[in-house]
Amino acid sequence: MPTYGQYYFDGLNFSTCVSVYTDSALTLIAPDGWYSQGSIVREMLNSILLAASPCPECIVPCSATPLTASGGEGVYKATFSFGTDTGAAIINFNVGNNQNPIPDKLTWTFDGTSASEYSSYLGGYLQGYLGAADQDTSGNDCTCCGDCYVAEYGANGITVANGSNGVARTGVSVFNYISGSFQASGSTQNVPAWGGNATGDQTLNECDPSSTTLANVPYASFNATMVVPVPVSAGSTTVEIEILAPCEYTFFEFTVNCPSLLTGFSSTTIQLTEGASCGIALPSTIYHAGVNTLGNSMREPAYGGTIPATPDTQMGIHDWVFEDAYGVTQLPAGWYGIQNLIAGVITAQVIEVSSDGIITTINNCPACSNTIYLSGMQALCETFCDGVNRVITTSAQTVNCHDYPSIAIGDVIVGTIIAVGWYAYAATSTDTATGPFQMIEITTNNVINDIKECSGVTCVTP
């Protein structure tokens, strides 16, 4: 195990400095040997630091296993390795396991980019410190949450309106995650003052005005979800996590999942209105990072009860949305028609995307006015050309509301997933003896893959 001490270096950071000293005036050179800070380790030889290397004991492999910490005020740091994986790495962050927890803030840094923004199923877009304030915007004490260093942050403690009330904390202990636990590093870090909810420095909850014992939005920050883009072109394989815990009795839990490609959904191009987004072509693919894939089994009945998880194959409210499967480019703000999969049913929906890159509205499109009719499934197209009369009586609609003459390859049948194969289709309820009709091949997820018609006993392209 390493031993800790107070040292000083002659540079902006430990990775690029030249030497280590034992005094703040940088006059007393430290002995030769190995030194580390955070996840970086360097050997000093003849009073000169050699190349920086990652500290093996300090790097945690990405996984779905959460890290948990509790205790006093501090700056908590951990480094995770993505290995060779690419895609989008999802971070789930909880600042407590109750309806209105003590505040903490998580910042990730990867490949030169840092961010402290989240989205949650109940709270939507969130920034900075999450949890509960000591005082709400009306100046009332929040009896629905515990005090957070009221003596340190002023008589009112941490408030919704003013954050830390201009108070910065100096000499805060730093804890590094090493060999399975957060350990005191022996070093300290200053925590700057931060502003209220309106500044973007925090998104703290407050008490319900009608009941000071309940939070305004219980569990608003539960399973706050962050997205770290890890494209193939990334120049790094590790992500740095820093959690600022400004209060005594802090508790937090976070998970750094390994990168994987985001799930895509067929969509329209950007539209100006909700109405314009339904019943039109879906030539694009957009990608989401779901914020409710874990659900919430902890929410008590008094606050609405448990929230079931939403599968990753379903787009939902407050999900992050992107133009690419790596989470690099957020989807521009506006309206989009999408093809969603809800409980096994293909559903035409419309979403509104905010300037923060999350879904703020999701509604079903109105029922389509154009209907086609389908027969039963056959394995071969030519079966419909064999002279046997078959009924075409099952009504259906497409996501983009095409009528019989407009049906095209790539259209999607709305509704329950149907068997892959060939179907006769017509404009009215009819049969193959009466017609007219054509045949469509339906593949996975109700996608029309081919269109044919009979020429004698043979299927040909119309």
Mean per-residue pLDDT, 112-129: 96
Whether 1 is in a domain gets the answer no
Residue 144 pLDDT > 80: no
- Please provide the DSSP assignment of 423-462 as one string: EEEESSSEETTT---EEEEE-GGGBEEEEEEEETTEEE--
The answer on 219 and 151 residing in a single domain is yes
Pairing of strands 320-322, 334-342: unpaired
Question: Rounded CA gap, 367 and 408, in Å?
Answer: 20
Position 26 in a domain = yes
Question: Do residues 237 and 271 both lie within one domain?
Answer: no
Q: Is the predicted pLDDT of residue 39 greater than 90, yes or no?
A: no
Q: Both 335 and 418 in a single domain?
A: no
Q: Which of 18, 38, 54 is the last residue of a domain?
A: 54
pLDDT score recorded for residue 410: 92
Domains contained in the chain, number: 4
Q: What is the mean pLDDT of residues 324-348?
A: 96
Would 225 be classed as within a structural domain? yes
Dist. CA 371–CA 349, nearest whole Å: 18
Q: What is the DSSP letter of 220?
A: T
Q: How confident is the model at residue 137 (pLDDT cuts 50, 70, 90)?
A: low
- Give pLDDT, residue 176: 87
CB-based contact 100:300 (threshold 8 Å): no
Shared domain check, 102 and 229: yes
pLDDT at residue 1 in the model: 52
297-319 per-position pLDDT tens digit:
988 887 889 999 999 999 999 99
* 2, part of any domain: no
Listed residues 313, 331, 364: the one ending a domain: 364
* Residue with the larger pLDDT of the pair 212 and 338: 338
- Any domain includes 309: yes
Residue-averaged pLDDT of the chain: 90
Distance CA 351, CA 332 (A): 12
Domain of 23, in residue numbers: 8-54
* pTM given for the model: 0.83
| Alpha carbon distance 175, 180 (integer Å) | 12
Within a domain: residue 206? yes
- Contacts (Cβ under 8 Å, ≥6 apart) of 143: 207, 212, 213
> Do 244 and 307 belong together in one domain?
no
Q: Give 163's DSSP letter.
A: B
70 & 130 share domain: yes
Chosen domain end from 348, 364, 380: 364
Residues 21 and 62 in one domain: no
Indicate if the alpha-carbon torsion angle 92, 97, 100, 103 is positive or negative.
negative
Higher pLDDT, 4 or 82: 82
Across the range 383-402, mean pLDDT stands at 95
Position 53 pLDDT exceeds 80 = no
Residues 34 and 78 in one domain: no
**435 domain residue, yes or no:** yes
Do 158 and 289 sit in the same domain of this protein? no
In a domain, 336, yes or no: yes
Residue 177 reports pLDDT greater than 60:
yes
Examine the domain organization and report whether 269 and 244 are in the same domain. no
Same domain flag for 425 and 307 = no
- Looking at residue 143, its pLDDT comes to 45
Could you tell me which residue, 266 or 160, shows the higher pLDDT? 266
In a shared domain, residues 324 and 406: no
